[in-house]
Amino acid sequence: MTMLKVNNRTLEVTSRPDRTLADVLRNDLGLIGVRVSCSEGECGSCTVLVGGEPCTSCLMLVNQAEGQDITTIEGIGSQDDLHPIQQAFIEEQGFQCAFCTPGFIMSAKAFLAENPNPTADEVSVAMSGNICRCGAYPYIVRSVLRAAEKLRKSSGQQAAE
Ligand code: FES
Ligand code: FES
């Protein structure tokens, strides 16, 4: 039995300890926004946040994640209440098939927490662990820049309130 803290909920998972975190999140907990493509840590599509840090969940064993705060794309916004980064990806059309999008958004979330006012080059470097087979990179960079703007505005508004 493994206790996982996922999207602010503590969940009990009965699983062999040698399964990957990505497998458990998708197949036991139904969090299918965690996309698995390469299963080798190369594409970034399975990126989730573990303790606030981006992590390729196809390479982490479920017992290594026990007790840490895990955030998936399902934990940052909903269809009715999109996260500003999700909203920015829609506005800038930062996807084609969208398979890679949750991974990019989770990487962007961690990056923008560290660097709220990045240049386009900094965004490109920060997103270099994520692969988009559709080649939507210019749109993805614009999406992250727009997300940064939205987040700066909302934190400025909160500070003024
Ligand atoms: S599926 Fe995990 S990095 Fe590609
Ligand atoms: S939008 Fe299709 S893989 Fe990125």
| Ranges of each domain in the chain | 2-75, 84-160
pLDDT confidence band for 113 (50 / 70 / 90): very high
Pocket test for ligand 2, best of 36, 99, 127, 139 (most atoms within 8 A of CB): 99
The confidence score (pLDDT) of residue 155 equals 85
Rounded distance, CA 155 to CA 123, Å? Answer: 20
Architecture of domain 2-75: Roll (3.10)
pLDDT for 1 beyond 90 = no
Instruction: Select the CATH number that applies to the domain covering 84-160 from these four: 2.40.110.10, 1.10.340.70, 1.10.150.120, 3.40.50.150.
Output: 1.10.150.120
Residues with CB under 6 A from ligand 2: 95-100, 132-134, 136
Residues 6+ away with beta carbon under 8 Å from 147: 84, 85, 87, 88, 89, 108, 112
Closest ligand by atom to 93 CA: 2
pTM more than 0.85: yes
Measured between alpha carbons, how far is residue 134 from residues 48, 91, 101 in Å?
21, 18, 11
The confidence score (pLDDT) of residue 17 equals 79
Locate the ligand 1 atom nearest the alpha carbon of residue 131 and give its number: 4
Number of H helices, E strands in the chain: 5, 5
pLDDT for 119 beyond 80 = yes
Stretch 120-136: mean pLDDT: 98
Q: How far is the CA of 155 from the centre of ligand 1 (A)?
A: 32
The confidence score (pLDDT) of residue 25 equals 97
pLDDT digits (tens, 9 = 90+) for 146-159: 999 999 998 887 77
Locate the ligand 1 atom nearest the alpha carbon of residue 57 and give its number: 2
3 state SS of 142: helix
